[in-house]
Structure 1
């Protein structure tokens, strides 16, 4: 199982859809099937990032779990996620 700390991999402010695409491209190249993305320290997530993240995630053959989503980031992330379920 691979764990990615997203603030270290990208930034604590997740703004660009291209960052989500780049992240999930890297994840797709990992040999691990089970991936944990740790959102601790993330202070902002844009709709653009969240939409790109979920649109790419649902097309992948990986088990991706998000952890440590807090506050407004968690609420917003969950709202956008519902559009893709």
Structure 2
């Protein structure tokens, strides 16, 4: 299943609740998911933190595609801040 975040949410990923709601919907499917970040122009720390927390706590695989630098950079800030030894 491919989820286009721009179409599902917005080109600006801002609200933590949007990430929560996204994963609540995905939990119903419990299958491997591909998150398409094409067209994303901005992501704030709250959304990124919630997204990564949820991603690492689910029982299914989540892959990201078309991840712009603005998203990679924010994910890397969150990962480093939380002590993960990985980079996007």
Output the TM-score relative to the length of structure 1: 0.87
**Which secondary structure state, in structure 1, belongs to the residue aligned with residue 63 of structure 2?**
strand
Corresponding residue for residue 32 of structure 2? 34
Runs of at least 5 residues in structure 1 that lack an aligned partner in the other structure: none
Corresponding residue for residue 75 of structure 1? 73
What are the superposed Cα offsets for residues 9-40 of structure 1, whole Å, 9 maximum, x if unpaired?
A: 11110000000000111111115x21000000
Corresponding residue for residue 14 of structure 1? 13
Instruction: State how many pairs are aligned.
Output: 83
Which of the two has greater strand per residue?
1
| Structure with bigger RCO (C-alpha 8 Å, 6+ apart) | 1
Q: In structure 2, do the counterparts of structure 1 residues 16 and 84 end up closer, same or farther at CA, with 3 Å as the change threshold?
A: farther
Runs of at least 5 residues in structure 2 that lack an aligned partner in the other structure: none
For residue 60 of structure 1, the aligned residue among 58, 61, 76 is 58
